[in-house]
Amino acid sequence: MVAPIYIIAVALGLAFLLGLLKSSSTNLGSLLMLAGLAFIAFVSGQWLYEFLINGRATEMIFTAGFKPPFSINLRMGMQEALLTTMINAAGLLSGLYLIDTLKKTGINSMTVLLVFVMSLNVIVMTRDIFNLFVFLEISSIATAGLVLLSSKGNAFQAGMKYLIATGIISGLFLIGIIFSYLYAGSLNIDELNAAHIMDIKGGAIAIFIIYVSVILELKPFPANGWGIDVYTAAKPGFSALISSGTATAGLYVAYKLLPLGGETWLPYFTIIGAITFIGSNLMGTRQQNPNRLLGYSSISQVGLLLMILGLSNQLGDNTLFIAFSILISHYAAKAGLFWLSGIVKSQNLEGWAVLRKQPFMLFLFGTFIFALIGFPPFPSFFGKWQLIMELATQENYLWMTLILTGSFIEAIYLFKWLGFAIKLDVPSNIVMKFEWNKYLPVYLMALTLYVIGFYVSPMVEGGAFINYIPLLFVLALFALDFLPVFVKNTISIAGIIYYMVDLFSQLENDLMRQIFAVIFLGGAVLTLMAGYNKKGTRAGFYPMALMMFAGLTGIIEANSMLEFFFSWEIMTAGSYFLIIRGKRSMPHGYSYMLFSIGGAYALLFGFALAYASGLDTTIAALGHITQLTTLAYTLLAVGFMTKTASLGLHIWLPGAHGEAESDVSPMVSAILLKAGVFGLMLLFLYMGTGTEGGDKLLYVLGWVGALTTLVGNLGAVFQEDAKRLLAYSSIGQLGYILFAVSIMTQLGWLAGFTYTINHFMFKAILFLVIGGIVVKLGTHNMYEMGGMIKKMPFSFIAVLISIIVIGGIPPLSGFAGKWLFYHAIIQKGWYFQGAVIFFAGIIAFLYLFKLIHSVFLGQLKDNHRNMKEISPWILIPSYLLIIGIMIFSAFPQKILQPIGEMLSVYFPESLHWEGTKAYTSLGYWDGTTIMIVVMTAFILLLGWLVLMSKKIKKVEQFNIVYAAERPFRPETTHVSYNIYAGYKKAVGFLVTPVVEIFWDSMSALLFDFAGWLRRIYSGNMQNYALHVVLFIVVFYLIALGGL
Amino acid sequence: MDYSITKFLWTLLGLFIVLNWGMLMSSTMRRIGARVSGRFGIPWYQPWIDLTKLYSLKSQVSHGAMFFLGPVFRLMGGVGIFLFLPIIYGSDHWSNYSFSGDLILILYFQFFGMLGMALGAGEGGHPHSAIGISRGLSQFTTIEVPMTLAVISLAIQYQTLSISDIVAAQQGGFTTWTLWTNPLATAAGMLSLLGAFGHSPFNLVKAPNEIPIGPPTEYHGVFLGVLRTNGAILHVAEAALFMNLFFGGATNWVELIVKTFLIYFWSVFVGTVFPRFRIEQSVRWFLKVPTIIGIIAIIIFL
Amino acid sequence: MEYIILISGFLLVLIGLWGILSQKNLIKIILGFTVFNTGINIVMVTVGYVKGKTAPILDVISPEEALTSIVDPVPQALVLTAIVIGLGVTALMLVYALKLYQDKKTLDINNFKDLKW
């Protein structure tokens, strides 16, 4: 065991040694520096190992042979070992990363870096407050020195601002130290903490001064302009170290000193943390410079951690776990991002598109972003989960709301950035050169996130049961990404089928989950089949698609709320990447993500309330929510409704589904939307009926569903883009489902299931076929198509059958849904909602006709005369689904009766069966008979026409009776564009994009507010110094001045 | 569920009666219309002559498979409504195949013929077909609103959606008819019927002066014969549906003939008096008075 | 007497702060900073001073006397350290001022607003 004191000794010794070297021997110098950094990293790592594995006791190190208060002492415990290891690892990697810069600047800069890292170590380890001050000053001086690694003018300015601000802060700290020494008679932190200075007259001022300076060191919003500038101007390699190292050390200082003031001071930490978290994130939304953006993000994360420290008395034993998991995510992600920024070398966010030249680096970029936001499987996910759960048990709803709001604002700018990187044109003026010393640190930080995430997960209640097998499969696909589509597709399909068989053996008695398993995994297989028609490697597609399906499977398998939420987020992440693959999908992927994250936070809040109600982590906890019951159910419903794209939360869908790739659209539309349905069903089953708030919620949701249907269907009517039309149609169909399940009767749910199954089948067919046609014809605009029935008869039949189902025309299965709807509505007494639903149902005919007419009928265009049928790989899954539709249509009883029996456990039975005939107290319906009657009659009538027909002459395209003029071009004769002009005149006001306008003005408001607020960062260093002074004054007035 | 040949033959006979009655009714109506405008009009047997001629025309052109199937779908639409409708109350022979489903089945089976016809005409590629269809569909969305409200009102009133049961509930003389017991629903339904029958002011689909050609011209010969056949059946079947819902149904053929004639006459009467709406006028009209009546028809039961 | 020193220490702190916040010339700001630091040092020494006692230097008095007759040595040690650190910071500030002057040929801080928002 190497004693911790060697960290200081070796670092200082080397620093002096470096000073003796000739200024030209930079190679030797850098080698020595790296060796030194590696050594101290080894020492701290070794202690960490001892504490972790051997459970060693905390070690106190006394200097100068005296015990405190007569000497300075250091402590090396589990916490110190962990933090110093983190700091030293970041230090070593930064040293490696910066090696060229350091060599260029000279040996002195290496000395400074060594001293900087060493000072952070001491800040963490020391138990002496004056010693703390000294090393804080050393780290400040070293920081100001290392800022000069960048030789740009703005770095000088930033360094100067930093020096002045920290000068004031440390002067203040000194006063605080001397006063607390006066009261406590010791400089030892432990003795200070034990001295109850608070009880001494005037002690509060001493505590105040110490706290305000410690907090100011953490760069609280808005007194942090001096800190932001350093992040912006320093070399990104060094900013990484400030963000990961200094912040870590600074937070630990705050943690060490928490007992000094006791519980009465905690709320101030929380409040300042919250203001910093939200304020800095707001500032981030307006940033164009990546380093400055990262600076704001760093500070906001520190604010969050400060909040957690402030809440430590409520979080209890979990404080350290929560703080650590969020800290480590921030540490690794921020260091990685800053290092990446140094590699990309772009002064604006748009330039990051260059990452696409190196997909693996893009993957790492995504990793860091997702880790910062708190997606699984990263540690911050578990930390945030635990944090929200604990806060809910303390009924601390305000802080929960603020934390989630802040996180959401952070997502706003981080995902905008990620979207730029994924979608914008690759800039030609930026070159990314591979340098192993710069790339390796980034790799290692990303790896850290995954590894720590995996090890952290079992520490959360229920986390040990998370099924990582599907994710491993995804990982394997990442590794195989270089293979051609054919191979990866086969592997994916085989994997899914294998998993599905396995899954079914577990779901034996759970019909509801079985149905969704078929939709999710069966749908996965069918939609993936269409992928066989793609060429090349389709980089990145398979891991993401499989990730989405893994998430979908996970929500079926989940037993605990944590597993559910974990899978939910995995699904969101996968689907985000799938959606954003479309050519013009950048804004749509972005809005999908924001709505998803907003929804996820609503879910998280709801789950937390459920957990807090009985400390039950299983999903069954949703069944007995006692805390803010109605709010909890509302939040959960809203969370799920972001995925089902219900009215108000639907604006992301048309673009996301419409612009997605041809086989992604069916995945996200036919399959992914059902995740929201599954969630809603689960929620409603646990919620049940009869509670006052719950029933009101259901009533409102019923209306929301009905109006969603109307808006979705009407929206579809006025589309010219074929895929957007289908996307709006999905909104409408999901509105039906929401309405149906809100009815909460057996009939309503049967209608819901019928719609779910039908929508899965016909929307998969439609998006597959129309998507294939769109690709083949090279346009989304229906009016540029026409006459395809002659070229693509199989596609036509598939689309025809689908639209018969959507329309609810007997004898196909769509009618089952309509029939159940009528009966359910009349039984429930929701007449007017029902009327809206049926009105919307008939409006559907308008867009259905427009779709099939504009694409397949009418006039064939000249440039399409040589078109052939779309790929059989699209038609095969479509026709398999048509077989499904036909079976469901002819034998509805085989499917609906078991569902009805399953539902009779939850609802009074109102649908009965007599053979194939279904009847309720209101009426009856026999799908099988209808099928027989209609088929027989149709064949007879067809025979009649054939019998009566004589010689039928096929005529040419333009051989039509056309009054007084002759059709000139197909374009002038094909009626499609704005075909419902008259209808628009009559009811077009209903499609005013009220919701879009609402969300647009909300975001404009946010951005304008942030733009206004950030003017405080005027760039003037005196202003920044004034901010610091004002911060002190305001804090004083609030904390001690009785304000 | 009776799938026997006898049943089939009885139904076929019923269909034959309905077809002929439909043709006679249409010629009568056209005569009435002619008299109103001061003309003499066609002879009563004109539809039979037309139909014979159309079925025996030798030339027939086709634009493709869907074009060919369009009329079959259309005829199936009319025949289907007849098949699923218990046409004579209390009669086993004339209850047709109404055991397949209730009122909802008929409401939705209406679309079967409309859709097929729309697609068939669409393949013809004639721009006027598409225009006509777009108008028809637009109008139909709002025609159905008062109808839906009326149906819901009936369902609340009778607590059933089975047509036979609705008719059974009206078997006690005039005062038990829906017309008497639920005049608001009847009013909403009958206003909606004006649109469904497509006479002026709601004859936007064929719009004799604006869209003189299109489907009726593209579809000629046997195709037109099939369409005419359907027209005759459909008019009677739909009138019979309204008769069952609002006017006590029919226990024998005579009653059916009288009632369907009067129901059909209602739409012709209005059509002779009022000129044609523009599409947006028509769409809005159904959303105003008829819809409000329909809403009140439900509110009174709440 | 101690109070006068204590108060003048605080006064110096405030004057220093005023200098930092109001002067436009970088050199003057740095001077303000040193005044600020000096004030803090005075405050620290005063806090550690006990009336009528002597300096904690064992050369002058015997160790036996020391326990009763010297003032607390710790604040004085702290001040010494603080002065050293203050020196370092001031020196670094002056280097920065030099660099800034070389970069922009001015010492007016209103010209150093390249980074903002």
Judged by DSSP in three states, A843 sits in helix
The fraction of chain A above a pLDDT of 90, given in percent, is: 82
Q: Which residue do the tokens 């079925």 mark? A: B55
Q: Which domain covers residue C82, as residue numbers?
A: 2-111
Q: Which residues is A954 bridged to in the sheet?
A: B62
Residues of C in contact with A1015 (CB under 8 A): 117
Of the candidates A700, A712, A740, the one whose C-alpha atom is nearest the C-alpha of residue A654 is: A712
β-pairing verdict for A917-919 and A924-925: antiparallel
Contact C96 A140 (CB under 8 A): no
CA distance B277 to chain A (A): 12
Integer Cα distance of B202 and B282 in angstroms: 7
Alpha helix (H) ranges present in chain B?
Answer: 5-36, 46-56, 65-83, 103-124, 127-158, 163-169, 178-181, 183-197, 215-218, 222-246, 253-273, 279-287, 289-299
Q: Which of B:55-114 have CB within 8 Å of A?
A: 55, 57-66, 68-69, 71-72, 75-76, 79-80, 83-84, 97, 99-105, 108-109, 111-112, 114
Neighbours of A839 (CB within 10 A): 22
Question: Which pTM was predicted?
Answer: 0.94
Per-residue model confidence as pLDDT tens digits over A569-611 = 999 999 999 999 999 999 999 999 999 999 999 999 999 999 9
| pLDDT for the residue A968 | 76
The fraction of chain A above a pLDDT of 70, given in percent, is: 99
Residues of A in contact with B80 (CB under 8 A): 810, 933-934, 937
Alpha carbon of A616 to those of A337, A460, A613, A623: distances in Å? 38, 13, 8, 10
Per-residue model confidence as pLDDT tens digits over A649-667 = 999 999 999 999 998 999 9
Contact C109 A141 (CB under 8 A): no
Q: For residue A924, which phi and psi values (nearest 5 degrees)?
A: -150, 165
**Minimum CA–CA partner of B66 in chain A:** A789
Sheet hosting strand A917-919, strand order edge to edge = A912-914, A917-919, A924-925
Per-residue model confidence as pLDDT tens digits over B130-157 = 888 888 889 989 999 999 999 999 999 9
Integer Cα distance of A663 and A873 in angstroms: 11
Residues of A in contact with B218 (CB under 8 A): 960-961
Residues of A in contact with B295 (CB under 8 A): 832
Contact A144 C96 (CB under 8 A): yes
Of the candidates A93, A59, A196, A179, the one whose C-alpha atom is nearest the C-alpha of residue A129 is: A179
Contact B284 A986 (CB under 8 A): yes
Domain count, chain C: 1
Q: Is the residue at C45 inside a domain?
A: yes
Q: Is B16 on the interface with A (CB under 8 A)?
A: no
Of the candidates A199, A202, A201, A197, the one whose C-alpha atom is nearest the C-alpha of residue A184 is: A197
Alpha carbon of B127 to those of A106, A960, B58, B69, B218: distances in Å? 81, 10, 26, 19, 11
Integer Cα distance of A998 and A1004 in angstroms: 10
Q: Which residue do the tokens 């004056």 mark? A: A130
The fraction of chain C above a pLDDT of 90, given in percent, is: 50
Integer Cα distance of A988 and A984 in angstroms: 4
B3, B61, B108 member nearest A955 (Cβ): B61
The ipTM estimated for the assembled molecules is: 0.96
Residues of C in contact with A159 (CB under 8 A): 96
- Pair A850, A980: CB distance under 8 Å: yes
Q: Is B184 on the interface with A (CB under 8 A)?
A: no
| pLDDT for the residue C66 | 67
A in contact with B (at least 3 C-beta pairs within 8 A): yes
Does residue B209 surpass a pLDDT of 70? no
Integer Cα distance of A267 and A759 in angstroms: 51
**Minimum CA–CA partner of A840 in chain B:** B141
Of the candidates A128, A10, A129, A137, the one whose C-alpha atom is nearest the C-alpha of residue A66 is: A128
Interval A965-988 mean pLDDT: 86
Per-residue model confidence as pLDDT tens digits over A496-544 = 999 999 998 888 889 999 999 999 999 999 999 999 988 888 888 999 9
Q: Which residues is A74 bridged to in the sheet?
A: A61, A126
Give, as one character, the DSSP assignment of residue B89. T
Check the CA dihedral A390-A392-A396-A402 and report its sign.
positive
Angle between helix A673-687 and A561-579 (nearest 10): 160
Integer Cα distance of A514 and A521 in angstroms: 10
- Give the 3-state secondary structure of A931-979: HHHHHHHHHHHHHHHHHHCCCEEECCCCCCCCCCCCCCCHHHHCCCCCC
A253 membership: H or E segment, kind and range? helix A247-261
Q: Which of A:957-1016 have CB within 8 Å of C?
A: 1014-1015
Does residue A1043 surpass a pLDDT of 60? no
- Going from N- to C-terminal start, the domains of chain A cover 1-127, 466-579, 580-939
Does residue B211 surpass a pLDDT of 70? no
Residues of A in contact with C92 (CB under 8 A): 141, 144-145, 163
Residues of C in contact with A280 (CB under 8 A): none
Residues of B in contact with A917 (CB under 8 A): 1, 99
Alpha helix (H) ranges present in A424-540?
Answer: 436-456, 469-479, 485-506, 511-517, 523-529
Of the candidates A522, A553, A512, A497, the one whose C-alpha atom is nearest the C-alpha of residue A880 is: A522
Does residue B213 surpass a pLDDT of 60? no
Most C CBs within 10 A among A135, A166, A174, A1008, hence the mutation to make, goes to A174
Higher pLDDT, A123 or A25: A123
> Tokens for A17?
């040694």
Across the A:B interface, residue pairs with CB atoms under 8 Å apart total 256
- Pair B162, B89: CB distance under 8 Å: no
The whole-angstrom distance between residue A336's C-alpha and the CA centroid of its chain comes to 19
What's C11's domain CATH number? Answer: 1.10.287.3510
A158, A175, A1022 member nearest C109 (Cβ): A1022
- Pair B61, A953: CB distance under 8 Å: yes
Integer Cα distance of B150 and B295 in angstroms: 8
Contact B138 A986 (CB under 8 A): yes
Judged by DSSP in three states, A75 sits in strand
Q: Which of B:204-233 have CB within 8 Å of A?
A: 212-213, 217-218, 222-223, 225-226
Chain A contact partners (≥3 CB pairs within 8 A) = B, C
- End-to-end CA distance of chain B: give it in Å, rounded: 37
Q: Which residue do the tokens 């598939």 mark? A: A798
Alpha helix (H) ranges present in A345-429?
Answer: 359-373, 379-393, 397-423
Q: For residue A288, which phi and psi values (nearest 5 degrees)?
A: -110, -25
Q: Which residues is A914 bridged to in the sheet?
A: A917
Q: For residue A75, which phi and psi values (nearest 5 degrees)?
A: -125, 140
**Minimum CA–CA partner of A976 in chain B:** B130
Per-residue model confidence as pLDDT tens digits over A898-952 = 999 999 999 999 999 999 999 999 999 999 999 999 999 999 999 999 998 888 8
> Tokens for A706?
């009905």
The DSSP code sequence of A815-839 is HHHHHHHHHHHHHHT-HHHHHHHHH
Per-residue model confidence as pLDDT tens digits over A227-254 = 999 999 999 999 999 999 999 999 999 9
Per-residue model confidence as pLDDT tens digits over A411-440 = 999 999 999 999 999 998 888 889 999 999
- Going from N- to C-terminal start, the domains of chain B cover 5-299
Integer Cα distance of A643 and A672 in angstroms: 8
| pLDDT for the residue B201 | 86
Q: Taking CA A759 as the corner, what is the angle to CA A754 and CA A761, rounded to the nearest 5 degrees?
A: 100
Interval C49-61 mean pLDDT: 69
Most A CBs within 10 A among C84, C96, C101, hence the mutation to make, goes to C96
Integer Cα distance of A670 and A957 in angstroms: 36
Alpha helix (H) ranges present in A285-318?
Answer: 290-310, 312-315
Q: Which residues contact A783 (CB under 8 A, 6 or more apart)?
A: A720, A854, A974, A976, A977
Judged by DSSP in three states, A590 sits in helix
- Pair A744, A801: CB distance under 8 Å: no
Neighbours of A648 (CB within 10 A): 17
Contact A1022 C20 (CB under 8 A): yes
B62, B155, B213 member nearest A952 (Cβ): B62
B in contact with C (at least 3 C-beta pairs within 8 A): no
Of the candidates A231, A229, A266, the one whose C-alpha atom is nearest the C-alpha of residue A245 is: A231
- Pair A208, A1039: CB distance under 8 Å: yes
Judged by DSSP in three states, A918 sits in strand
CA distance B35 to chain A (A): 30
Q: Is B137 on the interface with A (CB under 8 A)?
A: yes
Contact C40 A171 (CB under 8 A): yes
Q: Which residues is A924 bridged to in the sheet?
A: A919
Q: Is the residue at C117 inside a domain?
A: no
Give, as one character, the DSSP assignment of residue A477. H
Does residue B208 surpass a pLDDT of 80? no
Q: Which residue do the tokens 């060094």 mark? A: A238
Contact A922 B160 (CB under 8 A): yes
- Pair A465, A563: CB distance under 8 Å: yes
Q: Is A659 on the interface with C (CB under 8 A)?
A: no
- Pair B152, A823: CB distance under 8 Å: no
- End-to-end CA distance of chain C: give it in Å, rounded: 48
Integer Cα distance of A795 and A561 in angstroms: 43
Per-residue model confidence as pLDDT tens digits over A302-326 = 999 999 999 999 998 899 999 999 9
